[in-house]
Amino acid sequence: MPGKVFAVVVAIITLVIAYCVIAHVWWMPVDVSVHGPKIDHQIEETLFGAGILFIAGQLVLASFAFLYGDSKGARKMKAFPGGAKSLIVFACVVVGVEILVLSFVGSKAWASVYFTPPDPDSLRVDVQAGQFAFYFRYPGPDGKFGPLHPELINETTQNYFGLDPEHDADAKDDIVTAGLAIPVNKPVLLTLHSKDMGHSFDVRELRIQQDFVPGIVIPIHFTANQTGKFEIVCTQLCGLGHYNMKAYLEVMSQADYDNWLKQQAAMQ
Amino acid sequence: MHDMSAHAAAHHAPPSGFIRKYVFSVDHKVIGIQYTTLSLVAAFIGMALSWVMRIHLGWPAASIPFLGTLSPNGAPGGVPTPEYYLSLMTMHGTIMAFFVLTAAPMAGYGNFMLPIQVGAADMAFPRLNMASFWVTFVGFVLACATFIIPDGPPISGWTAYAPLSAVGQVAGPGQGRGQDLWVLSIALFCVASLLGALNFIVTTIDLRTKGMTLSRLPLSTWAWFINAWVSLLAFAVLLPTGLLLLLDRVGGTSFFIPGGLVVNDKLLPHSGGSPLLFQHLFWFFGHPEVYIIILPAFGIVAHLMPTFTRKPLVGGWKVITFAMIAIGSLSFLVWGHHMFVSGMSPSMAMVFSVPTLIITIPSVIGVLVFAFSLYGANIRFTTPMLFCLGFISLFISGGIGGFFLAQPAVDSYLHATSFVVGHFHFTMGLSAIFATFAGFYYWFPKMWGRMMNETLGKVHFWLSFVLVYCVFMTMHLMGLTGAVRRYSSYVADFMVPQIPTNRFMTVAALLLGATQFIFLYNAIWSRFKGPKAADNPWGATTLEWDTTSPPPFDNFGGRQMTIHHGPMEYDADASVMQTSPAKSIAGT
Amino acid sequence: MSESELTMSTGHEVLMEASPYRIEKKKLGMWIFIVSDACTFATFLFGYGYMRVGSQNWGTPFDFPTILNGIIMTFVLLSSSLTMLAAVRATQAGQKPSANKWLGLTITLGTVFAILHLREWFKMFGEGWGLFSNPTGGAVQFGACFFSVTGLHLAHVISGVIALLIITRGYNRGRYDTSHVETAGLYWHFVDLVWMFVFPMMYLMNAR
């Protein structure tokens, strides 16, 4: 009796989970990046393959619990035919093949983010993460970023990056903003650096997540193919304000972006 | 010719006096009980921390009863501050991972059972064993002490990433003395684990009784033995990592802290260090650690199931043992899968992804052996068996999540979401705990000479099984939305609408917590009032069931234990003890 | 002492069969400890390698003749391993006075090593080298790595000397026997072996 109850409970749990996944009760937000479909495809493939194994495993467990309760001598014991051999073969072959396929195809998705060089015409934006805000820096008309001086960082005077426009010519026209705006369908190259702790740049809709590592400048590039306003959230524990550390990514038409940048430049 | 009782008298006379018998005892059985009790206390503390966390996540503005009095700084008016939440989270992880999951199934049951299962009178080094426990105890006290110092426990997570954990007080509340105490606590735990591993290995190799060849070792002993090797190598790396962290914190060094950091408006004097170095060193320990947690669980389930299915495991002792050896060895090659988006070279990501996926194979073999050992059996659905079945289901669920996280491209979306939290709770939390419960109900009669109440045990099982799915599978699925972990409140636009689901998880978690009190009541009541246990109430075959419940001081009352069989001689209602000269049933 | 007698004298275990896996308990325990300790040293050395590769202007405080001290230390420690070997052989042959002589020599050599080590440390402190200071203005990690690694090794040498003192005393009082001396010898050889990694990596690689 308990075996049959166990089987039913496991079966119900399995079906509920399968339903939640197939019906996308909780699902990824719309993807707005050029490389995103590869990642989404990978996730879906994995859900399919792993999902089958999940359902099969749980239902096999459930059916054995259902069928093989203590019969008090009424039923003879049976050894599993072939012993462990078929199980080992199954694990090695089926799981092995699944692993190979996922790795091989998945490496392409990974490569599309990390192994394709950025477009030479990319819009470059420097991103700084610090406890507990993101700041962004555009190079301005000269196309160059001024050098950073950490000892000059001053929140009160809003010198978040530690720029020295008086002595560094390249820093004079740098535009510092609290939000990230980019034109749609234009390659963007971000350079991530941290002011203090480990942080992370995560935009779900872009399918981009990259840690900031103090001491290193990390490049990440993408192209957004839909306009909209998307949340940038910090996903690497950085202190008490971690939960509240966020900014917005706005993907705009080229014209809107140009206007926005002009306004930001005027506010420097 | 060694006469057992003379031996016992000469080297190991039974102690007298309360302190020598129950406090500073070198008897592995007492030490095993001490570890198990410590873990039980730690488990309830760890759970209580999670209740506060979950209530706060569901109702961020709510004042939690008693919390304001317990912690006026951390939770003024009973409402946890963000840093308090993070400190609860840090200590929840630390206490559960180390003092519950690493301690109970390995040090707790292993210490009690391993010497008996190999036929020895005690561990190879009993005094070292006693030292191990008391060092663990001091480590636990230090961890708890972080709650009563003015600045509170650290907030950097059980993973304590640098620079947050390394720069010291300047990083904010909890990062001063609290983090120092935490490092010391972990360092002591490392030392104790290393000594314990040493003892397990030498005992298994050297102290096996006559006829106890390696092929006849019970599978739980195999698991503890393999696990001891993994522990030895892994904790030997965590210890220096903690020392380096401590040097950065108090010695002014810059192993993990680069230059140019501005924290709280101060430019730090450090330079040249690497936060990634910390991650490499930590995870080189950290990944084997999760296998250190699960291997004894595998061993417990492998040991218990034949008793209740009345047949050997599919593949005998070899398949599951080699699977465990494969898992233990491969576990050292995969640590980088925690670092896919960490800034580590993207090429390394593929290097780590492949062994991470390969380690699935022996794990799947293990699960298949367990599941298919039910085929054609006559299963007795006792409480320990139900928990074993629950283990199989939970491990399948948790393991499936591994397929996702092992792939860098997928992990780039799922990293740091509640998918990961669901995944590791299923694998190292719930499965290991269910196996631990199975072991508790199974070995309780042997350890205390009384039976636990079966009805209460079954209630404990059913409620726990359904509720853990409610809490942690929901968490898994919510991770698909990109829900971020380690947030003390949900203020992100896309997470605010998820608060109602969080409330559902909170209610389920609180009910799950309440259910554990049924277990606690059962354990304590049965300890004193439970029906007396026979020597072998489950009809099992291994050496621990070949002696009284509880065993006498020297484990076998001076008897010479000679082994004739492997541990899985079962058939329907028949079974053959390992020491029985009768003919083998299953030919194992 | 025969192998099986050694096996039987391990303590309070039940009657056992001789088996290929049977190694005397203390010795096996020491081997296991050595494995874990090797991992600990390896972790430090890995951290050192990582830092060195990633840093500019690493410190190079050693030169001829300052490297001579390290060379002498190496010679001293290697000799102490030889004397330890002789001590073990003497205990195995039951020759107490000879064993005492060799044990005493080992302890002396170990102490000399420690003294030379500390002398050099204090000289370096005087020059401005520290856990987080590099007087040449180069990477401060040099001091952190150098002093922590050599410090850990020195701690092992000093504990080894203390252990040898305790064992020599116990051996003379009949409490300890050959197996104890052998086990201590194993530890001592390990400490020497670690030095054969530490010296090239921390001294020779950082010489001008």
Q: Where are the domains of chain B?
A: 30-257+274-575
The answer to whether residues B341 and A211 touch, using CB atoms and an 8 Å cutoff, is: yes
Interface residue B329 vs chain A (CB under 8 A): no
**Is B11 in Cβ contact with C51 (below 8 Å)?**
no
Of A50, A102, A207, the CB nearest to B413: A207
Residue with tokens 């520290």: C130
pLDDT of C133 above 80: yes
Best of B83, B90, B164, B175 to disrupt the A interface (most A CBs within 10 Å) is: B164
CATH fold for domain A123-266? Immunoglobulin-like (2.60.40)
Q: Residue A229: enclosing H or E segment and its boundaries?
A: strand A228-233
pLDDT for the residue B4: 38
Q: Of B297, B315, B220, give the one whose Cα is nearest residue B541.
A: B220
Q: Residue A166: enclosing H or E segment and its boundaries?
A: none
> Could you tell me the residue ranges of all domains in chain A?
2-70+80-114, 123-266
Least confident window among B73-77, B129-133, C80-84: B73-77
A103-112: pLDDT as tens digits? 888 888 899 8
The answer to the question of residue C33 being in a domain is yes
**Is C132 in Cβ contact with B241 (below 8 Å)?**
no
The band of B584, judged by pLDDT with boundaries at 50, 70 and 90, is confident
pLDDT for the residue C55: 84
Instruction: Say if residue B550 is preceded by a cis peptide, omega within 30 of 0.
Output: yes
Of B124, B232, B237, the CB nearest to C43: B237
Neighbouring residues of A108: CB distance < 8 A, sequence distance ≥ 6:
A38
**Is B488 in Cβ contact with A197 (below 8 Å)?**
no
**Is B209 in Cβ contact with C29 (below 8 Å)?**
no
Of C11, C22, C44, the CB nearest to B240: C44
**Is C32 in Cβ contact with B272 (below 8 Å)?**
no
**Is A75 in Cβ contact with B486 (below 8 Å)?**
no
Distance from CA of B358 to the nearest CA of C (A): 25
pLDDT for the residue C136: 85
**Is B244 in Cβ contact with C16 (below 8 Å)?**
no
pLDDT for the residue B120: 94
| Average pLDDT for chain B | 93
pLDDT for the residue A187: 96
Neighbouring residues of A110: CB distance < 8 A, sequence distance ≥ 6:
B346, B349, B350, B407, B408, B409, B412
Q: Residue A213: enclosing H or E segment and its boundaries?
A: none
The helix/strand/coil state of B434 is: helix
The helix/strand/coil state of B62 is: coil
| C-alpha to C-alpha distance for B579 and B562, rounded to whole angstroms | 6
pLDDT of A78 above 90: no
Q: Of C5, C31, C119, C144, give the one whose Cα is nearest residue C68.
A: C119
pLDDT for the residue A113: 86
Of B7, B124, B240, the CB nearest to C43: B240
**CATH code at position C84:** 1.20.120.80
The answer to the question of residue C3 being in a domain is no
C184-201: pLDDT as tens digits? 999 999 999 999 999 999
User: A47-64 burial, b for 16+ CB within 10 Å, e for fewer?
Assistant: bebbbebbbebbebbbbb
Least confident window among A19-28, B280-289, C134-143, C171-180: C134-143
Residue with tokens 């020392």: B243
Q: What is the CA radius of gyration of chain C?
A: 20
pLDDT of A189 above 90: yes
Distance from CA of C91 to the nearest CA of B (A): 24
The answer to the question of residue C101 being in a domain is yes
| C-alpha to C-alpha distance for B200 and B231, rounded to whole angstroms | 11
pLDDT for the residue B172: 86
Residue type, A190: L
Least confident window among A55-59, B91-95, B460-464, B577-581: B577-581
The answer to whether residues C154 and C167 touch, using CB atoms and an 8 Å cutoff, is: no
pLDDT for the residue A75: 82
**Strand A123-130 vs strand A187-194: parallel, antiparallel, or unpaired?**
parallel
Instruction: Say if residue A118 is preceded by a cis peptide, omega within 30 of 0.
Output: no
| C-alpha to C-alpha distance for B248 and C51, rounded to whole angstroms | 14
Chain B residues touching residue A27 (CB < 8 angstroms): 480-481
pLDDT for the residue B267: 92
- Chain A residue closest to B272 (CA)? A215
B36-82: pLDDT as tens digits? 999 999 999 999 999 999 999 999 999 998 999 988 888 999 999 99
Q: Of C154, C160, C28, give the one whose Cα is nearest residue C83.
A: C160
First to last CA, chain C: 51
- Chain B residue closest to A71 (CA)? B378
Chain B residues touching residue A243 (CB < 8 angstroms): 82, 487-492
The band of B586, judged by pLDDT with boundaries at 50, 70 and 90, is low
pLDDT for the residue C3: 39
Chain A residues touching residue B462 (CB < 8 angstroms): 5, 9
What single DSSP character describes residue B104?
I
Chain A residues touching residue B257 (CB < 8 angstroms): 214
The band of C6, judged by pLDDT with boundaries at 50, 70 and 90, is very low
Residue C182: give the domain boundaries. 24-206
Distance from CA of C145 to the nearest CA of B (A): 8
The band of C17, judged by pLDDT with boundaries at 50, 70 and 90, is very low
CATH fold for domain B30-257+274-575? Cytochrome C Oxidase; Chain A (1.20.210)
pLDDT for the residue C13: 41
Here the ipTM equals 0.95
The answer to whether residues B398 and B435 touch, using CB atoms and an 8 Å cutoff, is: no
What single DSSP character describes residue B417?
B
Distance from CA of B296 to the nearest CA of C (A): 20
Interface residue B407 vs chain A (CB under 8 A): yes
Task: Please tell me the total count of domains within chain C.
Answer: 1
Distance from CA of C101 to the nearest CA of B (A): 30
B208-218: pLDDT as tens digits? 999 999 999 99
| Average pLDDT for chain A | 94
What single DSSP character describes residue B108?
I
pLDDT for the residue C8: 40
| Average pLDDT for chain C | 88
- Chain C residue closest to B208 (CA)? C16
pLDDT for the residue C60: 83
pLDDT of B7 above 70: no
pLDDT for the residue A46: 93
**Is B273 in Cβ contact with C51 (below 8 Å)?**
yes
Distance from CA of B268 to the nearest CA of C (A): 13
CA distances from B272 to A216, B161, B277, C50, C149 (A): 11, 17, 11, 11, 18
Token duo for residue B457: 């045990």
Who has greater pLDDT, B173 or A124?
A124
pLDDT for the residue C21: 64
The answer to whether residues A248 and A179 touch, using CB atoms and an 8 Å cutoff, is: yes
| C-alpha to C-alpha distance for A84 and B365, rounded to whole angstroms | 9
Phi-psi label, residue B559: left if phi above 0, alpha if psi -120 to 50, beta otherwise: beta
Neighbouring residues of C174: CB distance < 8 A, sequence distance ≥ 6:
none
Q: Residue B53: enclosing H or E segment and its boundaries?
A: helix B28-58
The answer to whether residues B268 and B252 touch, using CB atoms and an 8 Å cutoff, is: no
Token duo for residue B336: 């980088």
Is the pTM above the cut of 0.90? yes
